[in-house]
Copies of this chain bind each other. A is one copy, B any other.
Amino acid sequence: MPGRNRVTLREVAEHAQVSVATVSRVLAGNYPVATETRRRVEQSIQALDYVANVHARALAGVAPRTVAFVLPDIRAQAFAHAAQGVEEASAEHGALCLICTTQGDPERERAVFHLLREQRASAVILIGGVIDDEEYCKRITDLSNGLTAADSRLVLCGRPPVDGVPSIEYANEAGAYAVTQHLLSSGHQRILFLGGPTSGPATTTVTDRLAGYRRALGHPGWVQPSDFTRESGYQQLCARLPEDFTAVFAATDLVAAGARTALRSHGLRVPEDVSLVGYDDLDLAEDLGLTTVRVPYEDLGRAAVHLALSSRTEHPVLETSVVVRTSVAHF
């Protein structure tokens, strides 16, 4: 039976002694076919191990939905969770899910987008930190227009919205505000914010978190730049360590993990000597007993798909919440 495949409709038709139209009909199932005929056709399909050709099908007008999820790096847990949401929601809609990584390379991003337009993707969902400037707006607008013209949709995920482009966000600033508030109400006064670009402009992810921190504080506070990596968190906090603060607000859990190591290597305990909070609520937050802000990444991905596959153009904002563990001392 594993005989030469690439079996076509016609071959099935011949085998079953019917016309191609009839075979097409039993396949689609949306048209009356005599029970006896149907059975014969189904047998032939089985016997020949026939599998329809999407390309021919698409060309003939029945395009299977495809949603593409474009992200910088699937190894980042937050993105992986979002991807999971996208995958599940796509499956629910009977859509195929394409996952493309760009490694943050604009060149590669362009290539990916071109590929996706060629694929006639029903929707493309974009996630990953960005710098919110005019260049960004223009680029997104162009992308969106290109996609829209091809009956597709661009949906922004956890990114600053752009006029006319549907997007789904989470309450980023509010989460930062809440966790800072948590620190303040625990009696902390001097709270260091660990995050922000070590060089160049900042992504909105961190500027929003910083804004929340400052709103809660009521003043600019103390900021130590750090990239969104464990390593950078470690090094940047070390650079600041002689100073006296009673708590550190790391821009992400990963940074918090690095900060924790830095603290420890300086003989400082968490939370006895210094309190620590993070952001994202990754698995490691649980390992570390880290108080952090939970971001519903899976829901974010799921919502993005729903938005993409509907024709709505709203900008929902998902809630974030503080998850209290054991990394904050109360005075």
Contact = CB atoms under 8 A, between A and B. Distances in A.
Nearest to A149: B5
A interface majority secondary structure: helix
Interface string A1-15: 011111000000000
Number of copies: 2
A301 B251 CA distance: 31
Contacts of A83: 74, 99
B96 A54 contact: no
Interface in A243-294: 257, 283-284, 286-288
B99 A97 contact: yes
A148 interface: yes
Contacts of A117: 51
Interface string A140-164: 0010011011110000000000000
A49 interface: yes
Interface string A59-96: 10001100000000111010011011001000100001
Interface of A: 2-6, 49, 51-59, 63-64, 73-75, 77, 80-81, 83-84, 87, 91, 96-101, 108, 114-115, 117-120, 142, 145-146, 148-151, 230, 257, 283-284, 286-288
